[in-house]
Structure formats: structure tokens, C-alpha cells
Amino acid sequence: MKDSHSANRNSDASRRAFLGQGLRLGAVAFASLVQSSGAVGARSGFAASPLESKPPQFLGRAKNVIQLFMTGGPSHLDMFDYKSALDRQHGQPLPPSILGEVRFAQIRDSQPLIMRSPWGFKRHGASGQWVSDLLPHTAQVVDELCFLRTVKTTETIHPHAEFCMNTGFRNAGRPSFGAWLVYGLGSESQNLPGYVVINSNGPPRGKVGNYHNGFLPPTYQGVEFRTQGPPILNAKNPSGIDDDDQRRVIDAVNKLNRMRFDFTGDPEIAARISAYELAFRLQSSAPELTNLNDESPTTLALYGADVHQPSFARDCLLARRMVERGVRFVQIHYGDWDHHSDIGVSHPNQCRGIDQACAALVRDLKQRGLLDETLVIWGGEFGRTPVAQPQAMGGVGRDHHINAFTMWLAGGGVKPGSVGQTDEFGFHAVDNSIEIHDLHATLLHLLGIDHEQLTYRFQGRDFRLTDVYGNVVQDVLA
């Protein structure tokens, strides 16, 4: 890869001239697209270019998001929501008053038995939050975290629950939270996608449905970075093509595409024009992004030994580097927390896979003054049952639990502490539940967006991430 600066020196003036033109083209293309589909709520006042950075509706603290999505549904009861009643009543049936009419995903026993957490819990930090002994590093940053203890979803089955968490709707096809955000706020990076997805150790079960643009223009789809080898393939020009050659080809392609857009009116072409602009810049920015040579040994040590190979740690460090470079939304999937059986073996392994890196990410962002403007979201599509899921052979596990489970937030505008409380078994919320729409409304609020104003007109109706629901959870706000 050539240094783009030296290669471009000669044609700097023409380049600047082009870029101006390119942006104008994009803006015009999008403007007409917006008009034709009547997009963007009247009061939102967003700029018309698809990826141009746009001011929030009000001053939010956070600008960027790093979402650590724990696919499979991590057990809140073995990580953060300590319940001494489980210790005391281990092996006894869960009281029917608690159990109610609940229908679990897999457990069918009418009297399922309570299971204590096999691991110790201690209070940590000035706030004295409970954290399982499996998470020694996370325990050291609890004072930065805001635990949402009563998140509630409607879906018991993985892909539906994933879609719910990421799009607010149980089926694939709706825009994801990241897509909505980049639609709302644009991208601060002209050289990297506004929305990057890393499937750390495999994709979520619902795959691309979890980071799709849905009915929003295709520009807002999450761009998936590879975890092995270079983050994106084909980032190098073919041999014999230098950056000027490449630039001229892209100029010609975009001009011709623009003419085709005028003729057909197809918004896919508008998206492709901006994709080619970004592609050109990605060729130099993506290798730079993943070159960790400029990270200090201290920083690398903070994330742990895994940071030099494909790992969750490396992905977290890359996420920090991305938000530093203006990426709006980084979505990392890490699984699989679906411990129906053998929880004694699989759960500690899984915790080891994330603990140090999660803590490092929060610390690293804070040291660099980025935590204030970055919102870190940790959580899965649901939690796990306080009752055991016995197995015919092999170790027990826990089933999916949707009534109340824990997520944590850190950073921009979030008040550390904890919000909501579950009953003595960690089964139901004893005070307000945080529905997924409430969660989305709150997250958007932290980013300076009124969830009722972030709309997109589709099939004659203004759609929102939060549908017709959602209340901002005030206790989360600093």
C-alpha cells in the first residue's frame, strides 16, 4: 500500500475539486432520494447527505457507541445479579407465586428447582456492586458502570430476541439500532464506515438481520470487518494501478452511476456512489486502523495477552481505535453464552474470554478522555433462569430468561450505579421493568436524540426504532 499522501501530492488540487464535486453529487442524489420517499421527520432537521455528520437534536453526552453484544444470553445470576436466596434455597422448587404462568424455552418441569450460582460473589468499588469472582477485572471498574437490572424482552427464542434487542422488532427486516443512529447522526469519519460490525467469534444466530439497514437506505447497513487477517479484503490496488489511476476510475464510475441514478431513480445507486467514495478511502484507512504498532506496551498489556491474535480483546482495542477515528457505531458480537448444560465448565471459559478486555476498554476510553463521548453497552438478548435446567446426562445449565436480566452501560451521560431491582430470585423486576423500547429510547436520549423524533417514512407511515412505545429511563442519566 502506498502512502496515499505522497502519491497524491501532484493532484491535490484536482482531488479537492473532485471531492467537493463528489460530496455535492452525493448530497444531491440523497436529497432527491429523501424527497421521493418523504424521509426524515419534519422536526428532526437532519442534513440531507447520507453520511455527513449531523447535529443531534439536543446536546447529548455521547457521540459514539460500542456495543458488546453477548450472543446466546449470558447469565445475570452468575455474573452481576447476586441473590443469596438462591444459595439458601438451592435444590428447592421455585415458589409457584414467582413461577406464575411462565413458559420457558426448554424447561418443561412443572416444579423446576432453584440453582445457586456455583461461583462466589463479592462487593466491589466505592459503590459496593456485587460481581462474580469470575470477573476480577470487570470488578475493578464497577464504579464506572451503570447496571440495568430489570431489562425485559418479549422473545424467548434466540434469533427473535436478538432482532428485538438490535432492531426493536421480533423478525428480521427492520433497521438496527446502529443503522438508525448513523441515519440520525451521520458519520464523523470520512475514511471509515460509520457503522462497523465485528463478529468476534462468529456471527449472531440471526446474522446480518442484526445489523441490516432494513427500510432505511442501504448506506446505513453495518459493514462487517474480518477478525482474521486483514480487516477487509481487497484493500490494495491491483498491481500497476496507483492511487491516481484508481481515483480516475472511481470518478468515472461515479459520474456514470450518477447518470444512471437520474435515469432510474433507484436509491441503490445513490448508496453505491457513496460506497465507492468510502471504498477508496478505506484502502488506506483500514490497514492503518489495524496496525497496532503505535499502541504503547502499557495499553497492549491492559487488554491482555490475547490482543495480538484474533480475539475479543483485539476487537475491543480496535473498537476504541475506531471511535477515536470517528466511527459512530461499533457492534461486536461475542458468543456463545447459551449454557443450557455444563454451565460449570462453559460459563467460566466464556467469562475469561471477555473480562479483561471489557475492563480494559472502559479504562482505556477513560484515560484518553473518550469515555465521556462514548457509550459502551454490554448485554445479551436475554438472561438465564434462576432454576436449573437438568440434563439427562452431563452437567446442568440454565434456560433462557426474559422477564428480567442485567445489562451494563458505561460512558457518555450515564450515571454509574444500578437501576432497577429484581426479586429475591432474580426472576421478576420488583420495580419498573426496562422494556427494549425503553432501553432504545434511553440510549438515543444519551446520544442527543428524541426517540419520538427519529423517524423514517415508509409505506405511508413514519417508522421509529421504538415503534409507538418507549420511555426514557431517567435514573440512567447522569
Partner 1 sequence: MEPAARKHRWTQFARRFVIAGLLYSSWVTGGARASDHWAFQRVEHPPVPNVGNSTWPANPIDSFVLARLKQERIDPSPEADPVTLLRRVTLDLTGLPPTPSEVDEFASESSPEAFARVVDRLLESSHYGERWARHWLDVARYADSAGHEFDTKRDIWKYRDWVIQAFNHDKPYNDFLIEQLAGDLLPNATEMQKIATGFSCNALKQYGDNNEATIDRVNAYGTAYLGLTLGCAQCHDHVADPISQAEYYQFFAFFNQAEDSSYDFSSPEQVGIRDALLRQVAHLKKEQFRYRNGPDKDPVAWAAQLTADELRAIPLDMMEAVQKRNQDRTEQDLEAIRQQHAQATTEFQHRFLQRLQAWMTKLTDEERQALNPAAQQYLALRLEERPPDPPQPLLEAFWQQDAGYKKRQEVIEMLQKSVPETETTLVMRERLQPVETHIFVRGEQRNKGEQVEPGVPAFMPPLGIEGRQPNRLDLARWSTARDNPLPARVMVNRIWQHYFGIGLVESSDNFGLQGDQPSHPQLLDWLAVELMENGWRLKHIHRLIVTSSTYRQSSRLRPELAETDPHNRLLARQKRIRLEAEIIRDVALASSGILDPAIGGPSVFPYQPPGIMDARADQTQWVMSDGNERFRRGLYIHFWRLTPHPYLKMFDAPDASGACARRTQSNTPLQALTLLNDPWFTEAAAALAAQACRQVEGKDEDRLGWMFRASLARHPAPQEQQILLKLLEEQRAAYQQRPAQAAALLEDILSSAGLDPAQLAAWTTVARAIHNLDEFITRE
Determine, following the binding rule CB under 8 A, whether residue 272 of this chain makes contact with partner 1: yes
Q: Which of 19, 253, 305, 478 binds partner 1 (CB under 8 A)?
A: 253
Distance between CA atoms of residues 54 and 185, nearest Å: 5
Determine, following the binding rule CB under 8 A, whether residue 432 of this chain makes contact with partner 1: yes
Q: How far is the CB of 393 from partner 1 (least distance, A)?
A: 6
Q: Which of 236, 308, 368, 415 binds partner 1 (CB under 8 A)?
A: 236
Q: Which of 79, 105, 135, 449 binds partner 1 (CB under 8 A)?
A: 105
Q: Which of 8, 37, 53, 290 binds partner 1 (CB under 8 A)?
A: 37
Q: How many CB atoms lie within 10 A of CB 415?
A: 13
Determine, following the binding rule CB under 8 A, whether residue 178 of this chain makes contact with partner 1: no
Of the pair 126, 392, the CB lying nearest partner 1 is at 392
Determine, following the binding rule CB under 8 A, whether residue 4 of this chain makes contact with partner 1: no
Determine, following the binding rule CB under 8 A, whether residue 19 of this chain makes contact with partner 1: no
Interacting residues with partner 1 between 41 and 70 (CB under 8 A):
none
CA of 458: how far to CAs of 41, 198, 271, 464, in Å? 11, 29, 17, 10
- # residues contacting partner 1 (CB under 8 A): 74
Q: Which of 101, 108, 110, 298 binds partner 1 (CB under 8 A)?
A: 108
Determine, following the binding rule CB under 8 A, whether residue 228 of this chain makes contact with partner 1: yes
Determine, following the binding rule CB under 8 A, whether residue 387 of this chain makes contact with partner 1: no
Of the pair 272, 445, the CB lying nearest partner 1 is at 272
Determine, following the binding rule CB under 8 A, whether residue 102 of this chain makes contact with partner 1: no
Determine, following the binding rule CB under 8 A, whether residue 127 of this chain makes contact with partner 1: no
Determine, following the binding rule CB under 8 A, whether residue 235 of this chain makes contact with partner 1: yes
Determine, following the binding rule CB under 8 A, whether residue 342 of this chain makes contact with partner 1: no
Q: How far is the CB of 65 from partner 1 (least distance, A)?
A: 20
Interacting residues with partner 1 between 273 and 312 (CB under 8 A):
275-276, 278-279, 282-283
Q: How far is the CB of 349 from partner 1 (least distance, A)?
A: 16
Of the pair 361, 439, the CB lying nearest partner 1 is at 439
Determine, following the binding rule CB under 8 A, whether residue 166 of this chain makes contact with partner 1: no
Q: How many CB atoms lie within 10 A of CB 163?
A: 25
Interacting residues with partner 1 between 140 and 159 (CB under 8 A):
157
Q: How far is the CB of 435 from partner 1 (least distance, A)?
A: 7
The amino acid present at 6, given as its one-letter code, is: S
Q: Which of 244, 295, 452, 462 binds partner 1 (CB under 8 A)?
A: 244
